[in-house]
Amino acid sequence: MISASSFKSKICKLNLIQVLAYLFENCEEMPGNKTMDEFRSCLFNVLEAMAKNTKLIMSMSKEIMELLLPVIVKKVESKSADVRFQSLKAFTDFITQFLCDDKIYNSEDNNESTQTINELILKKLFPHYGLILSDTDPMPLFGLKLLSVVVERNSAFVVILNKLKLIEILF
């Protein structure tokens, strides 16, 4: 439904973002349950479809950044390797688009969305970076891809990486 033009403008509203955040937060309540595994897979497919629609996610950027992305990035610490990878991939898909849009992210003009993204990266993503870079493939590859975009858009993050002692892990 998200990829169908007749639906996306009608269903991609605040309520959908809130429901998706809730579902992602609770999608690992029954580990090993085949139905829940399939449901979780569908949730990641919804995220992937959303991330492919730049116009849609830009129009809902505030809600996505405040409600959905914190829940997604938290799943990077999941016990399931698949959930960790899919979460990092989804987070990368969204945050990369936000970082590359000058209206949303501008490190020189510290607007509200820039502050939200910086906080997401500093407080929610970077604490997991040691795990991301030392995890099994393809986690480190996606972690480096994301880090490349983050540092390219705001070089001040290099100093923070050094303070968090992540430079050694990178090398």
- The residues spanned by each domain of the chain are 5-170
Residue 53, pLDDT score: 85
Burial class of residue 101, CB neighbours in 10 A (0-12, 13-18, 19+): middle
Quick one: pLDDT at residue 163? 83
Residues 47 and 72 sit within 8 Å (Cβ to Cβ) = yes
What pLDDT, on the 0 to 100 scale, is given for residue 92? 96
pLDDT tens, residue by residue, 67-109 = 999 999 999 999 999 999 999 999 999 999 999 999 999 988 8
Residue 145: burial class (beta carbons within 10 Å; 0-12, 13-18, 19+): middle
The H or E element containing residue 4 is none
What confidence category does residue 63 fall into, taking pLDDT thresholds of 50, 70 and 90?
Answer: very high
Q: How confident is the model at residue 22 (pLDDT cuts 50, 70, 90)?
A: very high
